[in-house]
Structure formats: structure tokens, C-alpha cells
């Protein structure tokens, strides 16, 4: 069973930059895993920010960018705003078996 | 606009079953896959399975394989997730979420349905 690993928590100052990462126990993350990033604020449903590793949805602020970096998927927030404080989840597709697996989530604190 | 509207909260006793619905609107129901995801209180997101609304074919996460059934009604553009043999650990918010049929693009989510399992 694939395990997807994220940093449990990170802290960033307003206006700063932070990178969250997402690793797979099966090896290097590539585009075939369709890396997806979601944001969830308390009491709300998740919101999809990034799909297919690097693509923003129309509603995703430009300060959110994503990449494949050193065998991991990465989400970078630049010019962090107080409203970016949230839980961020990585989601990967595993082709054998054909399942989707969430990471444990990163709690981002803006302080 | 795309909307996924889920049914209301449920309270069930251990051993019972629950059926949660997700009504889609604003797009062609059979052109997108739909997933079910759950989140126990204070915990992370957990993928439960996927259904192709066009064919009705499903793939379930192994841990739910023997207890979950995902179905759809194309006449009403509604998706259903039934979970049987409920136990207290199944207390969670259950979400439906849409994904494109090519490219694995997740986009819209339902608002969530709280299922509480308690004696």
C-alpha cells in the first residue's frame, strides 16, 4: 500500500515564501501520479488548487505554484497572506492498483 | 455553474448502513468521474473509491472493498455511496468530488455530509 508523506506542519511569516512537499513510498513522483494539491480551511470542504503537478485552476491565486522537485511534488506559496493559513493535502494516483492516495496533510501556520 | 449538493447529516447505530447522495448540476453528469472521500474528526482525507457515471463501473479502496457500494442514477444526475456494517470509526464527513475523464483533474467538491455512528 502506497504511503504519501507530507510535512506535518510548517510556519511562515506574512509575505514570506514556503514550500510544501509530497513524497511517495513507491519512488520518485512524476507526472504519471497526477499530483494534486488541495487546501482545506476549518469547517470547509477541500478546495482543489493544483492539478497534474503544475496547473492552477481558474480560482487558484497566482501566488500558489507547484512543481516536481527532487523526486517529490512541491507546492510553493509566495507572498503568503494570512488567509493562506490552512491544511494542505497532496493527492497522488497510483496505477497499480488503480487507486488514489492522500498525504497526511500539512498544517500551515501564518505567523 | 457546477454544483455537487450532498444529502444531510445522518446518525446511525453500529451495524447499520448509511446511504449518502450527491446531486450534480451545471454539467453533463456522464462526462466526469466522481470520487468519494471521507474525513474523520480531526483527521486527514481518505479516498474511498471512484465511479464512472456513464458505465457505472467502480473501483474501491481495498479497506472499504467489502462494505461500500457506489451507484448512480443518470436520470437525476445523482451519485450514491452506501456504507454498511457501520462502526464508530466510520464517524466522518463524507465528500463527493469530480474528476475529468482524461488527465486526472480533480476540480469541484460537494459540501460534505456528516455521518455519526453512535449507540
The Cα–Cα gap between A58 and B113 comes to 26
- How confident is the model at residue B30, as a pLDDT? 97
| pLDDT tens digit sequence for B70-115 | 999 999 999 999 999 999 999 999 999 999 998 899 999 999 999 9
The Cα–Cα gap between B51 and A37 comes to 21
Binding-site residues on chain A for chain B (CB distance < 8 A): 1, 34, 36, 38, 40, 45-48, 51-52, 55, 57, 87, 89, 91, 93, 97-105
- How confident is the model at residue A98, as a pLDDT? 86
| pLDDT tens digit sequence for B30-71 | 999 999 999 999 999 999 999 999 999 999 999 999 999 999
Beta-bridged to residue A18, according to DSSP, are A77
- Averages of pLDDT over each 10 residues, chain A, 111 residues: 96 98 96 97 98 97 96 98 98 90 98 94
Nearest-CA residue of chain A relative to B5? A45
- How confident is the model at residue A1, as a pLDDT? 85
- How confident is the model at residue A96, as a pLDDT? 76
- Whether the CB of B110 is below 8 Å from some CB of chain A: the reply is yes
- How confident is the model at residue A95, as a pLDDT? 84
Quote the distance between the C-alpha of residue B3 and its chain's center.
Answer: 14
Which residue of A37, A45, A48 to mutate against B (max B Cβ within 10 Å)? Answer: A45
Amino acid at each position: 500500500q502506497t504511503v504519501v508523506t507530507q510535512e506535518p506542519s510548517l510556519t511562515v511569516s506574512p509575505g514570506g515564501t514556503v514550500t510544501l512537499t509530497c513524497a511517495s513510498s513507491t519512488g520518485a513522483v512524476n507526472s504519471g501520479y497526477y499530483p494534486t494539491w488541495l487546501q482545506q480551511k476549518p469547517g470547509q470542504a477541500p478546495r482543489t488548487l493544483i492539478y497534474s503537478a503544475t496547473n492552477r485552476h481558474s480560482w487558484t491565486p497566482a501566488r500558489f505554484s507547484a512543481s516536481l522537485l527532487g523526486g517529490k511534488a512541491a507546492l510553493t506559496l509566495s507572498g503568503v497572506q494570512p488567509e493562506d493559513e490552512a491544511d494542505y493535502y497532496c493527492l497522488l494516483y497510483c496505477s497499480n492498483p488503480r487507486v488514489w492516495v492522500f498525504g497526511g496533510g500539512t498544517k500551515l501556520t501564518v505567523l | 455553474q457546477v454544483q455537487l449538493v450532498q444529502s444531510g447529516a445522518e446518525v446511525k447505530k453500529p451495524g447499520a448502513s448509511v446511504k449518502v447522495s450527491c446531486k450534480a448540476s451545471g454539467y453533463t453528469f456522464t462526462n466526469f468521474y466522481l470520487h468519494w472521500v471521507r474525513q474523520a474528526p480531526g483527521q486527514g482525507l481518505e479516498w474511498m473509491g471512484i465511479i464512472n457515471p456513464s458505465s457505472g463501473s467502480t473501483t474501491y479502496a481495498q479497506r472499504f472493498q467489502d462494505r461500500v457500494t457506489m451507484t448512480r442514477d443518470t436520470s437525476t444526475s445523482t451519485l450514491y455511496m452506501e456504507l454498511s456494517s457501520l462502526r464508530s470509526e466510520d464517524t466522518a464527513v463524507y465528500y463527493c468530488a469530480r474528476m475529468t475523464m482524461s488527465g486526472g483533474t480533480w476540480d469541484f467538491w460537494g459540501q460534505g455530509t456528516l455521518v455519526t455512528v453512535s449507540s
